[in-house]
Structures are given as C-alpha cells and as structure tokens.
Structure 1
Amino acid sequence: MSVPQSELSLRMARFRDRMDSDCPDWETAAITEKINLYYFTGTIQDGLLVIPRNGDAVFWVRKSFERAVSESEFPDIRPMTSYRDIAAAGGKKEKPVHLELDTVTLVQYQRMQKHFACGGFRGLDMQVSAVRAKKSPYEFALMERAGAIHRRVLEDLAPGLMHEGMDEVELSTALYAVMVREGHQGIIRFGMWNEMLLGQINFGTSSICPTCVDTPGGIAGLHPSVPMSGSRNRKLKPGDLVVIDIGCGVEGYQTDKTLSYMFREPIPDAAIKVHEQCVEIQNEVAQRLRPGAVPSAIYEEIVSGLEPAFLENFMGYGRDTVKFLGHGIGLLIDEAPVIAKGFDEPLEEGMVFAVEPKKGIKDVGLVGIENTFAVTPGGGRSLTGRHPGLLLVP
C-alpha cells in the first residue's frame, strides 16, 4: 500500500523545479501540513519535512516514527522530540525558510522562530498547490477507481435506498454503508482541516438552506453544533427533489459528484428546464478543459453568455452564491486551480476538476449537476459518469 519511491522522487523533483522557477533565491523549504506531508513522503504521521535546495530532504517525525518508517518509502526519516532536534542538525540558515503560511498554526510558527536561526519566513503554498494540481499516472489510477465507485453507487444503487417517510439522516447512513462496501475510504477531506463522511444529502428545499461552506448547495443540518449533516425532521415524500452531493475517496484520492432524483413524481417543468441548462453548462465547461486553456477565461466565457434572469440564484440561492464553476480536486475535494476569476495560469494535461453548475429554485431546491473531469487534448474526460441526473425514482 506504500506510495512508490519513484512516485515520491518525481513529486520532489517537480517541487524543486517549481521553487527554482518561482523563488530563484530559495534555500530551505519546510512542510508541516499533514496532506502535503502525505503527498511528499507517503505517510501522514506528525512531523516536519525539511527540503534544502542543495541537499537531500529529511522527514523529521515526532509521532509515530515507527509507523512512518513502516509505511513510507521516503529515503530519509529521522525521529525528533521537538524542533530543537532539527535546528541542531541543520545549522543556521541565512535566508528565509519557506513555509505553508496558509495552514501553519501560530504556535508552530512561534516554535520555528524560536529554534530556527534564519532570515525570516516566506510562503510556499502556491508552489505546492501547483505541483499537486498535475496528477501522475499513479494518482490518476486511484481517481479512476474512486470515480467508478461514485458512478456505480449514485447512478445504479442510490435509487434503491430511497423510500417514503425516511429522513435525510437515514438516507445518509444507508448511502455511507453502501459507499464503504463498494470501496470508499470512509472520509473525504477539504482544505483548512475540514473533513466529512460523505457530503450534502438533501430532500427538497434543504438543498438551498444557508451553510458555512463555500459551495453552491446548502444543508439543513442535524443541529447548530452539527450543521453539515442531514436533518431527522425532513421526511421524504412524493414530488421531492433529492440532491446527493458527495465525495468518494480511494487511498487518499477523491472524486466529487452530484446527482439528483425525483421521488415518485416529477418536479415542475420549469425546474427541469433549468436543470437541463445546468447540464449543458457542465458540458460546455468540460469541452474547454484542454491544455493551454485559462480557468478565468473559461469562467468569463460561460458566465457572460448566460441571461441575467438565469444568473439570479445561479451557483447557490439568495445571498449564498459562489463565484466559481468548478474546482481542482485530488487529495482534497477543494484544490487549486479554480474555474473562476483570478486563476490565470493555463491548464495542463493531468489536471482534474470537479465541474458543478447549479441553481437554486424557490420551493423546489437545488437543481444542477457535478462530475469530475480530467484535462485532455480532446476536452474534459469524465471520471464519474455522464448521467444527466433527475432520475425518476418509482
């Protein structure tokens, strides 16, 4: 189950190349965030990866050193009790050390200031994100497996789990059991330490309830303390729109998919037409996912072609709309780059995006679609199926 050493070496070489390009005077990089540690070392154990520009990288592990050694094929793993051990071995650094400033905690930062004699600290978040954005064949193979599970469960198995009178929590737990049985790793990961078991699973207008997460969909929640789970009070009834927006992970790598269902009876014709337009938008975005295309330009081209009336409640509902059409995905559900304004670096073959045009409709819920696409010379290739959604569940 270990990440091959050849894969780890390729990732490190690409990171060094990116740092040379973006930060020509860099001397030392330090990685501490757990998902980045997994990406570069193949283990998620607690520690600090030190990457000198002129020298071999060392992964210093606090806990558990034994497990890190057993799991990882990284060539140099050493035990530590504190950052003092790293400072003693590394000597003084004249230039700034590059850190993940988006995620390093203030306590970690202060400890590094105390123990590392260096010329300050700078960020490396953009460089790590850029390297992780382009997937290797090894990573693609895992995402293909996740996508196949996703397609089978949502398109073939989920309708059989629904019955009148069930609540959102009941469907969520039934769906979770099926997902894990089919191969889902049991958890999905977002940036900024957010984790969920599956995602947003809603009946009707629950799917447009305001939420704290930057997503077009909403969720009623179990309780103010648990806002991201389904509601026990929302019971499934004929005519309901059911929206399932969930991730699926295999060995760390995830896909994202949203599929909708009409329980027993169709939703209003006007809502169906809006849904169909969202599917068309997804396909238009996917056609543009080619090497050399610019994410911000894709966003502007698509959005500028939509009617003002359609843009109302597009990508959300009311004040809770988002300003993107899709997002990068891999070890996190929400990775860079994003199909939105401000993302001007051209796409490369090997990047993967979740494309999710959606629109909130009063008294109905959130219509639309989401699938995960790989960037190819022929346009986006779906890893999660092509069903247009709105399956009628008898």
Structure 2
Amino acid sequence: MRQFTADDYAARLERGAAHAREAGLDGLLVAPGPDLSYFIDYLPVATTERITLLVIPADGPPSMVVPILEHDSAEAALGARAVSLVDWSDGTDEYVPTAKLLSPDGRYGMSDSTWAMHLLGLQEKLPRARFTAMSKALPMLRAVKGDDEIERLAAAGAAADATFEQIIHVRFAGRTENDVAADLAALLREHGHSQVDFTVVGSGPNGANPHHEAGDRTIVDGDMVVLDFGGLKDGYGSDTTRTVHVGEPTPEERQVFEIVRQAQQEAFEAVAVGVPCQEIDRVARRVITDAGYGDRFIHRVGHGIGLTTHEPPYMVEGEEHPIEAGMCFSIEPGIYLPERFGVRIEDIVVATADGGRRLNDTSRELQLVE
C-alpha cells in the first residue's frame, strides 16, 4: 500500500485553503486530532494543555505553533512539508504567537478537537475575530476521499468482513455478550486493526438499544443478536453491523429482518452522484415505514467514515448536499422493538460515477449461530 507523500499533504493543505476561501473564511486553525493528521500527519507525543495549532491561511503559507519542548519532534515529523514552526515557551503567554499570525478582524474555522480553553484564550487576544467550527463551516472538507484513502477503507472493511466470517462459527449460547465482544476485538486485531473502537453485542432485548454496550447478559437460544464492530486499520476506519440469530428464528423475527434487509438494499441502490444525502435516509425509511415500523427506526441511516468512524457526510433528513464521487459512508437502517429484539444491517459504501460500491461483502442474509 502506497504511503502518503509530502506532495499528498501539500495538496491537502491547498485544498483546505481553497475551502476556506470558498466559505469566506480567512483561514483554518487545526488542533491535534483527525484534522491535523489529515493535513500534515502529525500528532504530538502527548496531547496536553499546551497549545499546538496549525494555521492554514486562506492566502499564504501555513504555520504551526508548537511548545518549544516539542519543536524537534514536530520538525522531524514534518520533514519536507512546507509548514514553518513558531515556538512558544512555558512561562510566556502561549496565545500571543498564534494571535500574531491571525487578522484581528478575521473569521476562522477551528477544528472540533480544539480545547475550549484555547479557543477562549484566542478570543481574549482577538476580541473582534470570529471563530466557527470547521465541521459546520466546511462539513465536506474531508468527505471526498482520494484513491489511496479508499484503498485503506476497503482494506479495513475486508478485515472487518474476515472478522465476521470467523465470529459466526464461535459459540454464542451460554456465553456472555462480553465474551463475544472480546472475541470480536481479538479477531479485528488479528486481521490487522491497530485500534478497536467498538464491539457492540446486543442480545435479545439489549438489541433494541442501537448503542448498547456489551455486558454480562448470558446469550440464550432464541436470541437475536446485533453485532456492530470496527476500529482503525492503517489509520482508516471500519464499521459494519450484522444481525445473527441463535437457533431457529420465529416467523416475526424473519419478517422484521427481511424488512431491514430490503431497506438497506434499496438505500444502497439509490446511491448516485448528485443525489442529495438525505435521499438515502428517505429511501430506507420509506421501506420501514410502509411495513409499519417507522416509529421503531430511531436514528439516521448513515454517517461518513475515514480517519474517524463518524464524520460528514451524514445520510439524514435535512442534509441536502449532493453525493459526490469518492464519498464514503455507512448505510445502516434498523428496527428496534423495546424489551424484545433489534435488527440492524450496515455496510460502508463508496460513491462512484457508476453508483455505490460496497466495502463490506459478507452475507446480508440472516445467519444462524449456535
């Protein structure tokens, strides 16, 4: 897999500046977190209360403000990247160096991971400046992925698929949700994940909670079990959900499962460049509503994925931004029947000129486990 180069990061910095100009911003302020990784592939050795901030002007060269004790590590990480370093020392006013790089009357997009104390500190130094969340001002900045990013997302998806193919051969009945969650985590790491972010195992009535944390409930024969798991592989995310059944399901359970499967399929088929993001939610919701379960589909149908598991674009009512080639997002409708069971099916999909391409390929039919 090709490594990202200095030229790749230079193009991202130029992209950030261009997006800032288009949004009427004077620049972007990027704190340690996924946005900083995206722009320059740098994270401090330890994220502390000391301010580290990449300044990307709408016009002009970028700079990064760093504590002097991290100057050498930042310089080594940046390598040939065209980003100048501005130091500050303990015992001095840490906000002065950043303020000097900004316009007193400017408007800036600030990454969501910025500590509130740093935003407030800059506001004190620049009372006439305005700051807005980057995710609000530039929601699509990281939404369109390059080919190298899609390759990484596809590899992460394949690793999650391999995990599912193995987990369905593990015994469920008589074991706790925590036991199965531990198996999922171990398999994700076995298949190359450096970080496991979540292993949802919602058995029986727990499956009716979309964000149920695996617990000490013992899985029994007759349970529907929602498995939602993922993490990071080569810096990019995986996220897939499959619902399995312990033993033979009832006719009602099969019917509910089939409604969700149909909703997921029709939403996938609706993916096309130029279609508003909200339309994908509408298509899946229409299938579930027409089947009489509209009030039991209680979340959006999808979210973007990349360096983080949840990021724009969001497939949700009200998001009118058109789908663009290279956008990667989940399609995950569900039905949740309180105190009984839940069903969810989730794939990561990348939009292409020819429609949608799934990055998860395991069976979407109801799998029976022991």
When the two structures are superposed, what TM-score results if normalisation uses the length of structure 2? 0.88
Look up the match of 1:223: none
Give the SS at the match of 1:121.
strand
Matches within 5 A, 1:107-146: 107-116=117-126, 119-146=129-156
Structure 1 residue corresponding to 2:98, chosen from 83, 86, 89: 86
Alpha-carbon distance between aligned partners in 1 of 2:42 and 2:104, rounded to the nearest angstrom? 30
Paired letter, 1:76: V
- Cα distance in 2 between the residues matched to 1:108 and 1:389: 49
Asked if 1:382 corresponds to 2:358, the answer is yes
Distance 2:196 2:43 in 1: 15
Q: 1:239 is matched with which residue: 193, 198, 222?
A: 222
Q: Which residue of 2 aligns with 1:162?
A: 171
Q: Counterpart of 2:20?
A: 19
Match of 2:75 in 1: 69
Equivalent of 2:108 in 81, 91, 98: 98
C-alpha change, 1:365 and 1:140, in structure 2 (3 Å) is same
Superposition pairs for residues 355-366 of structure 1, below 5 Å?
355-362=331-338, 364-366=340-342
1:327 corresponds to which letter in structure 2? H
1:347 Cα offset (Å): 0.8
Name the CA shift for 1:132/1:282 in 2 (closer, same or farther; >3 Å).
Answer: same
SS at match of 1:132: coil
User: 2:28 maps to what in 1?
Assistant: 29
CA distance in 2, matches of 1:333, 1:109: 25
Contact in 2 for aligned 1:2/1:72 (Cα 8 Å) = no
Deviation by residue 1:87-134 (Cα, 9 ceiling, x = unmatched): 45x3x6243241327553331122112345763434433344312000
- The alignment status of 1:295 with 2:277, answered yes or no, reads yes
Query: Residues 96 and 122 of structure 1 are in contact (CA less than 8 Å); yes or no, is this contact kept in structure 2?
Result: no
For 1:354 and 1:51, locate their aligned partners in 2 and report how far apart those are by CA, in whole Å.
30
The amino acid of 2:98's aligned partner reads I
Per the TM alignment, residue 361 of structure 1 is displaced from its structure 2 partner at its CA by 2.8
Deviation at 1:340, TM superposition (A): 1.3
Q: Any idea what the Cα deviations from partners look like across 1:43-82, whole Å, max 9, x if unmatched?
A: 1225100112331101223374443333344332524332
CA contact (8 A) 1:133 1:351 kept: yes
Distance in structure 2 (CA, Å) of the matches to 1:166 and 1:77 = 55
- 8 Å contact from structure 2 (residues 10, 82) kept in 1: no
Please tell me whether the aligned partners of residues 20 and 58 of structure 2 are also in contact (alpha carbons under 8 angstroms).
no
Q: Is the 8 A contact 2:302 2:331 kept in 1?
A: yes
Counterpart of 1:138 in 2: which secondary structure?
Answer: helix
For the structure 1 residues 28 and 118, does the alpha-carbon distance in structure 2 shift closer, same or farther, using more than 3 Å as the test?
A: farther
* Alpha-carbon distance change, 147 to 308 in structure 1, aligned in 2, over 3 angstroms: closer
Distance 1:160 1:302 in 2: 30
- The equivalent residue for 1:150 is 160
Aligned partner (choices 305, 317, 327) of residue 303 of structure 2: 327
**How far apart, in 2, do the equivalents of 1:162 and 1:143 lie?**
29
Q: Please list every run of 5 or more consecutive structure 1 residues that lacks an aligned counterpart in the other structure.
A: 189-197, 210-216, 220-227, 315-320
Deviation of the 1:372 alpha carbon? 0.3
Paired residues of 2:304 and 2:330 also in contact (CA < 8 A): yes
Deviation, 1:146, is: 0.1
Once the two structures are TM-superposed, the CA of residue 344 in structure 1 deviates from its matched residue by 0.7
Task: State yes or no: 1:58 paired with 2:100.
Answer: no
Measure, in 1, the Cα distance between the counterparts of 2:249 and 2:332: 20
Q: Which residue of 2 aligns with 1:43?
A: 42
Shift in CA distance, 312/165, structure 1 to aligned 2, threshold 3 Å: same
State the alpha-carbon separation in 1 of the partners of residues 328 and 123 from structure 2: 37
SS in structure 2 at match of 1:166: coil
Which of the residues 257, 275, 296 maps onto 2:257?
275
CA contact (8 A) 1:356 1:370 kept: yes
Which stretch of structure 1 is more off in the superposition, 101-110 or 270-279?
A: 101-110
Aligned position for 1:336: 312
**Aligned partner letter, 2:34:** I
Classify 1:100/1:53 alpha carbon distance in 2 versus 1 (closer, same or farther; 3 Å).
closer
Q: Deviations over 1:282-339 (max 9, x none)?
A: 111111211111112333344345326221312xxxxxx22x2111111121111211
Q: Secondary structure at the match of 1:360?
A: strand
Q: How many residues are treated as equivalent by the alignment?
A: 355
Letter in 2 for 1:15: G
Whether the aligned pair in 1 keeps the contact of 2:175 and 2:218 (CA below 8 Å) is yes
Displacement of 1:351 in angstroms is 0.0
Please point out which of 211, 236, 243 is paired with 1:218: 211
The one-letter amino acid of 2:63's match is: V
Matches within 5 A, 1:173-212: 173-188=182-197, 198-209=198-209
Q: Is the 8 A contact 2:304 2:313 kept in 1?
A: yes
Alignment deviations for residues 181-202 of structure 1 (CA, whole Å, 9 cap, x no partner): 11112233xxxxxxxxx23112
Q: 1:293 to 1:163 in 2, by over 3 A?
A: closer
Once the two structures are overlaid, the 10-residue window that deviates more, 101-110 or 292-301, is: 101-110
What runs of 5+ residues in structure 2 fail to find an aligned partner?
Answer: none
